[in-house]
Amino acid sequence: MKSFKTFLIATSLVGAFSASAFAQTNKEIVVAGMKGLFITHDASVIDKYWSPTYVQHNPAVPNGSEVLKGWVGSLPPDFKYEPGMVVAEGDLVMMHGRYTGMGPKAMIGVDIFRLANGKIVEHWDILQEETVKTVSGNPMFSNPQK
Quote the mean pLDDT of the chain: 86
pLDDT tens for 91-141 read 999 999 999 998 899 999 999 999 999 999 999 999 999 988 888 887 778
Q: Is 34 exposed, middle or buried (0-12, 13-18, 19+ CB in 10 A)?
A: buried
Flag the least confident range among 49-63, 64-78, 95-109: 64-78
Confidence check: pLDDT of 5 > 80: no
What's the structural domain count of the chain? 1
Specify the CATH number for the domain of residue 41.
Answer: 3.10.450.50
Q: Which domain holds residue 92?
A: 25-129
**Rounded distance, CA 136 to CA 63, Å?**
38
Residue 61 lies in a domain: yes
Q: pTM score, two decimals?
A: 0.80
Confidence check: pLDDT of 146 > 80: no
Mean pLDDT of 9-28: 63
Residue 48 lies in a domain: yes
Residue 76 lies in a domain: yes
Residue 87 lies in a domain: yes
**Rounded distance, CA 73 to CA 88, Å?**
29
Flag the least confident range among 36-40, 82-86, 135-139: 135-139
Query: How many residues belong to the chain?
Result: 146
Give the Cβ contact number of residue 24 at 10 Å: 12
Residue 19 lies in a domain: no
Residue 82 lies in a domain: yes
**Rounded distance, CA 125 to CA 49, Å?**
18
